[in-house]
Structure 1
Amino acid sequence: MSLISGIIDGLIYPPPGFHFLVVIEMFPQTPQDIRFQSVTGLSVTIPTETVAEGGENRFKHQFPGVPQFNKLVLKRGLFLGSFVSHWARNSIQNFEFEPKNVLISLLNDNHIPLNVWHVFNAYPTKIDISEFNAEQNTLVVETLELTYQYYKPMGLDDLIGGAVGAVAGAIGGAVSGSISL
């Protein structure tokens, strides 16, 4: 399947939710630091504030309030030597919080991002390790709960526009750099 047909399929059919990538903007990272079993919490609610108008008793006005974002919950198998796990433990144990941006990408079958959510200033507020049970042969799952300021969904048009801008900037820099007199 070509790149173009993969993108067109993403426009015609809803993408499956099992092929995704989570990148926490931190260095260094191991390959295990981008592998997660599930992601939840990409949700925003805008509460309303009720205001009564003086002299008008038949109704009240509803005004939008400040958006409220849920906690981002990341689940994965417990890995040794993970920098993401170290970052989370450092926040919980040492109370040293280093907010990081998180990119969550929903991918097509060619590993091309169809949708990307850019989560800003996330920091760990909870770590949960699944139970150990001698009667079951299951993996140990680490659950990280992150609080964040907000997220910005980036659609295909944003990604293409960003790529075109980056290419144009690179070409412009190459052209202006090569035309020095």
Structure 2
Amino acid sequence: MNYPMHKNHFRVEWGGVNVGFMEVSGLAIELDVVSYREGSSPESSERLMPGLKKYSPIILKRGIVKSDDEFYKWINTAQFDKIERRDVTISLLNENHEPVVIWKIRNAFPFKLEYSPLHSQGSEVAIESLTLAHEGLTVEFL
């Protein structure tokens, strides 16, 4: 019997390197809905048609680690209309650490880097979040 997969065992890769994260969000594909009605139509309502695909930004969160400034370096590759783009692979893993679902993100680049608020009386882990824009998302079920 097949059971639903747990969402807490996943891997993120770019450039052949596994990068550890505590959370990944934004794995979404949406279609614009285009409404259309021709003037001579006897119908009193519009027709709805699929439009362009839209991809949600991908948000990657992880704890801040000493001497790891990878996110900061990547977002600072931006110069005028150019920035380093990367293909990103996110895999949902089974209990044997094997991929069962793979999301492939094409031509991703960071457009927001955010650090969690700092509190003098808190004991939580400091978090950094990197938000990626991209030009495509495909999903492969294994």
Q: TM-score, normalised by structure 2?
A: 0.89
Task: State the structure with more CA Rg.
Answer: 1
- Please give the alpha-carbon distance, in whole angstroms, between the structure 2 residues aligned to 1:89 and 1:75: 18
In structure 2, the partner of 1:4 is: none
Q: TM-score, normalised by structure 1?
A: 0.71
Alignment check: 8 A CA contact 1:53 1:61 kept: no
In structure 1, the partner of 2:73 is: 86
In structure 2, the partner of 1:76 is: 62
Q: For this pair of structures, how many residues does the alignment match?
A: 139
- Alpha-carbon distance, 1:120 to partner: 0.3
What is the one-letter code of the residue matched to 1:90?
Answer: T
In structure 1, the partner of 2:6 is: 16
Q: Which runs of 5 or more structure 2 residues have no equivalent in the other structure?
A: none
- Alpha-carbon distance, 1:85 to partner: 3.9
In structure 1, the partner of 2:15 is: 25
Instruction: Choose the corresponding residue for 2:86, options 100, 103, 124.
Output: 100
For the pair 1:45 / 2:30, whether they are aligned, the reply is yes
Higher relative contact order (CA 8 A, sep 6+): 2
Q: Which runs of 5 or more structure 1 residues have no equivalent in the other structure?
A: 1-8, 157-181
The runs of 4+ residues in structure 1 deviating greater than 6 Å are: none
- Identical-residue share of aligned pairs (%): 28
Deviation digits for residues 33-92 of structure 1 (CA, Å, limit 9, x no counterpart): 61001000011111111111231142322111001111000000112234344213433x
Which secondary structure does the structure 2 equivalent of 1:67 belong to?
A: strand
- Please give the alpha-carbon distance, in whole angstroms, between the structure 2 residues aligned to 1:89 and 1:17: 31
The structure carrying a bigger strand percent of its residues is 2
- Please give the alpha-carbon distance, in whole angstroms, between the structure 2 residues aligned to 1:121 and 1:104: 14
- Please give the alpha-carbon distance, in whole angstroms, between the structure 2 residues aligned to 1:84 and 1:129: 11
